[in-house]
Amino acid sequence: MTILDIPSPNFDDRPPGVGAELLVLHYTDTTDRAETLSYLLDPAREVSAHYLVDEDGAVIRLVPEAKRAWHAGKACWRGMRDVNARSIGIEIQNPGHRCGYRDFPAAQIDAVIALGRAIVTRHGIAARDVLAHSDVAPSRKKDPGELFAWERLAQAGLGLYPSHVAPRHRTTRSFGPGDADEAVLDAQTLLGRYGYECPATGVLDDATHAVLVAFQRRFRAWNFDGRLDGETHARLRAVIALAGA
C-alpha cells in the first residue's frame, strides 16, 4: 500500500508508557479531500487524525502513529477517557450526514481494510476495540454511520460483526425513552461489558438511548431507532459472545 505523507501540526505526545489500544474510524463530513485537508492541517482548528483515506482509496498519513492525534474529542471506551492517547484515528472521506451522506466506494473500503489490518497487527489491537467514532462518543457523533461496511470489514478480519442472528430473546416488548424494566438493566449491563459508557440504572434514559442508536447504526443499520427490542437484545448478546466480554 502506497501512503502519501502530508504532516499535520495538530498532535502531541502520548502520555509516558501509553500506546495505541483502540482503532477509531470516522467520516470526514466534508465535500472533498481539499476541504478535509484544509481542516486537518489548520493549527487553529486543533483537529487531526493519523490517516485520511480518500474515496479513490488513496491513503494519506497526517500524524505518526507514535503520537497522539486529536480526533476523538470528549469520548470514552472501556473506562478509558483519554481516547486520543490510546488510539489510532482514521478519517474516511465522505460527505457525512451534514453534506449528503452516501455509500463508501469499494476501493475506499479495500484501503481502509488494508490499512486497518496493518495497524491492528502492529499494535496488537483486539477486534472488539476496532470502533466507530459514534461508539466512543454516542451522544455527539454518528460517524462513520449506518452506510459503513462493518460486516465486510469483519469478514476481512477487522473488527466484529454478528451475522445470522435470530431475533429471539426473552425481551418480547419494545422499550423506549423513559421505560424501566429488568430487560433494560440487562441490556445496559451488556453494553457496558462490551465497552460503551452506559450506567446500569434499569431506565432507558437519554444516555442509554444514544448508546442504543450507536450500537444499532453499527450492528443493525436497517433500524437505529434507539429502542430496545428483541432483535437488538439478541444482536447485543451475539456481539458480547464474539468479543468474549
Catalytic positions, written as ranges: 91
- Residues 232 and 152 sit within 8 Å (Cβ to Cβ): no
Question: Of 150, 141, 90, whose CA–CA distance to 115 is shortest?
Answer: 90
Question: Of 201, 197, 209, whose CA–CA distance to 81 is shortest?
Answer: 197
- Residues 83 and 136 sit within 8 Å (Cβ to Cβ): yes
The cell numbers describing 25, all together, are 474510524
Question: Which residue is listed with cell 508508557?
Answer: 17
The cell numbers describing 70, all together, are 486529536
Question: Which residue is listed with cell 444516555?
Answer: 207
- Residues 78 and 195 sit within 8 Å (Cβ to Cβ): yes
The three state secondary structure string of 22-56 is EEEEEECCCCCHHHHHHHHCCCCCCCCCCEEECCC
**Would you tell me the crossing angle of helices 182-194 and 206-219 to the nearest 10 degrees?**
60
How far is CA 77 from its chain centroid?
Answer: 10
